[in-house]
Amino acid sequence: DAKTTQPNSMESNEEEPVHLPCNHSTISGTDYIHWYRQLPSQGPEYVIHGLTSNVNNRMASLAIAEDRKSSTLILHRATLRDAAVYYCILALNSGNTPLVFGKGTRLSVIA
Amino acid sequence: GAVVSQHPSWVICKSGTSVKIECRSLDFQATTMFWYRQFPKQSLMLMATSNEGSKATYEQGVEKDKFLINHASLTLSTLTVTSAHPEDSSFYICSANPVIGDQPYNEQFFGPGTRLTVL
């Protein structure tokens, strides 16, 4: 599985945008970029995924570099409930493919 | 959205006993379910892939005779930790993937996890 690199931790003020980076320089042409997050003492939850184009949904936006070697998850207005560990994962299709979780980025949100 | 439940949410048992954890997809069918384990301050580690009607596929280093997986229906997979020991204490999480038509949905849905403590 292609490896991803994320900062161990990040901090944000409440109601400010947060940009969570992910490097994946060895990504293959068929790898999707998936983001999941895990709130304390809970199972992970899906955030967003993309292949080449930037993606938006109700939770976040995903900006993918033109060479696909990096991506950024954007939370437009961080809330205290967004404090979690965010995982950037490469997979052909996260549905029927087991996900390989790295260490992720622990996001702290300050009121 | 699709919901995956786990039961129990937490369990404390004595060393040497067996513990069964259930993973259910509540509003969809799942031919494939995954079991993960997460130790404190660490990331999730895949233990096995559970396929309905067939044997589970275990990751390297995971003892299949110790972690028994049964996926008897399209909505239920169970993980039994046999002869549990304190080192098996962990957060066990399952995930499931809906199938729409004959195509897997491009998202996994995770259960809330089961915290096992072995005394």
Which pLDDT tens digit goes with each residue over B54-83? 889 999 999 999 999 998 899 999 999 999
Alpha-carbon span B84 to A94, nearest angstrom: 31
pLDDT average, residue stretch B100-104:
63
- Are A43 and B4 inside 8 Å of each other by CB? yes
- With beta carbons under 8 A apart, name residues in chain B contacting A58: none
CB < 8 Å to B51, chain A: none
Local confidence band at B102 (pLDDT 50, 70, 90 cut-offs): low
- End-to-end Cα spacing for chain A: 38
The Cα B112–Cα B65 span in angstroms is 25
Q: Is residue A1's pLDDT more than 60?
A: no
**What is the pLDDT at residue B51?**
87
Cross-chain Cβ contact B104/A93 below 8 Å: yes
CA atoms of A75 and A19, how far apart (whole Å) = 7
CB A87 within 8 A of CB A36: yes
Instruction: Pull the structure tokens for residue B49.
Output: 């892939």
Distance from B47 to chain A by nearest Cα, in Å? 10
What average pLDDT does range B24-53 have in this prediction? 92
Categorize the per-residue pLDDT at A88 as very low, low, confident or very high, splitting at 50, 70 and 90. very high
Q: Of A94, A62, A89, A43, give the one whose Cα is nearest residue B114.
A: A43
pLDDT, residue A71, reads: 98
Interval A46-56 mean pLDDT: 94
> Quick one: pLDDT at residue A12?
96
Range A83-87 average pLDDT: 98
Distance from CA of B89 to the nearest CA of A (A): 15
Across the A:B interface, residue pairs with CB atoms under 8 Å apart total: 59
Mean pLDDT, rounded, for B29-42: 93
Inter-chain residue contact A95 with B4, CB threshold 8 Å = no
Tell me the average pLDDT across A94-111: 90
Query: Which pLDDT score is estimated for A47?
Result: 95
Average per-residue pLDDT in chain A? 93
- The answer to whether A104 touches A86, Cβ cutoff 8 Å, is yes
Calpha distance A76→B91 (Å, rounded): 31
User: What pLDDT, in 10s, does the model give residues A19-46?
Assistant: 999 999 999 988 999 999 999 999 999 9
* Residues of A within an 8 Å Cβ radius of B: 32, 36, 38, 41-46, 49, 87, 93-96, 98-104
Q: Does B69 touch chain A (CB under 8 A)?
A: no
Q: Is the pLDDT of residue B100 over 80?
A: no
State CA B58 to chain mean position distance: 12
On the question of a cis peptide bond just before residue A17, with omega within 30 degrees of 0, the verdict is: no
Q: Pick from B4, B91, B104: which is nearest to A95 by CB?
A: B104
Residue of A59, A88, A78, A68 whose CA lies nearest to A26: A68
- Nearest CA-CA distance, residue A48 and chain B, Å: 9
Between A55 and A2, whose confidence is greater? A55
Q: What is the number of other CB atoms lying within 10 angstroms of the CB of residue A58?
A: 5
Contacts of A75 (CB under 8 A, 6+ apart): A12, A17, A18, A20, A59, A60, A82
Tell me which residue of A80, A67, A82 sits closest to A35, measured CA to CA: A82
Whole-number pLDDT of residue A70: 97
